[in-house]
Structure formats: C-alpha cells, structure tokens
C-alpha cells in the first residue's frame, strides 16, 4: 500500500525522467499513483484525482515546450492518466504542462494544452 501524500504539492524539479517524484528523501513512482488534475485538464468533467497509468516520452506528442518554446529532450517524460490527461514536468521553465483530448459534440476530439 502506498503512503498518502494528499495535499502535498509536487514541484517540477522533484520529478525525474523516469517519472519518480522525490519527497523528503523518498522516491515515489508516479506510475500507479493517484495525482490531482487541474480543472483546465478536465474539459469533460473527469475526476479531480486520477491514477497515472503509464509513462511515455514527451517527444512522442510534442517537440517543444508550449510555455517557453525550448525543445524537450528525448528523455522528457509525459505521464498519462486513466482518462488520458497528459502531464509533462517541463524542467526548461519549471512548469507542469497539461495536455488533454477535448471531446466535441460531434464525437471528435481535439488536443489542447493548458
């Protein structure tokens, strides 16, 4: 059973390229953990907290940071949740970048960055 880290803020610099979060000297794998999802990354009313299902590389989705336009490295992680919200800990500008698929009324989806 995992420790309860509810209410503790993660910082970008505390997440490594393998998707591990270091908190007070303890390394916590984020894959399999439940993390809070900002409202802007829940366009279809998804749950506020979601399980991280897998870690991919950001370059598979986006080549540069939409915040500062610096290129991501090949090892920049992207964490994907149960409902498809994607979080990139962008070390280039110390920002969490969120990507989601917004479902349109016609059933199509469109990618958005928050």
Could you report the per-residue pLDDT of 93-103, keeping only the tens digit for each?
A: 999 999 987 65
CA distances 17 to 5, 7, 37, 70, 71, Å, are: 20, 23, 20, 17, 15
Are 101 and 109 in contact by the 8 Å Cβ rule? The answer is yes
Are 44 and 32 in contact by the 8 Å Cβ rule? The answer is no
pLDDT (0 to 100) of residue 43:
86
Q: pTM for this one?
A: 0.83
Of all residues in the chain, the percent with pLDDT exceeding 90 is: 66
Q: What is the CA radius of gyration of the chain?
A: 14
Q: Are strands 34-36 and 26-29 parallel, antiparallel or unpaired?
A: unpaired
């Amino acid at each position: 059973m995992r420790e309860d880290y509810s209410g503790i803020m993660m910082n970008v610099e505390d997440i490594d390229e393998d998707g591990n979060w270091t908190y007070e000297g303890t390394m916590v794998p984020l894959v399999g953990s439940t993390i809070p999802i900002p409202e802007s990354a829940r366009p279809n009313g998804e749950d506020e907290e979601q399980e991280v299902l897998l870690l991919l590389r950001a370059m598979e989705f986006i080549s540069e940071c939409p915040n500062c336009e610096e290129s991501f490295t090949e090892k920049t992680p992207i964490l994907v949740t149960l409902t498809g919200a994607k979080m990139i800990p962008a070390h280039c500008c110390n920002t969490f970048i969120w990507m989601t698929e917004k479902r349109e009324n016609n059933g199509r989806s469109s990618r958005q960055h928050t």
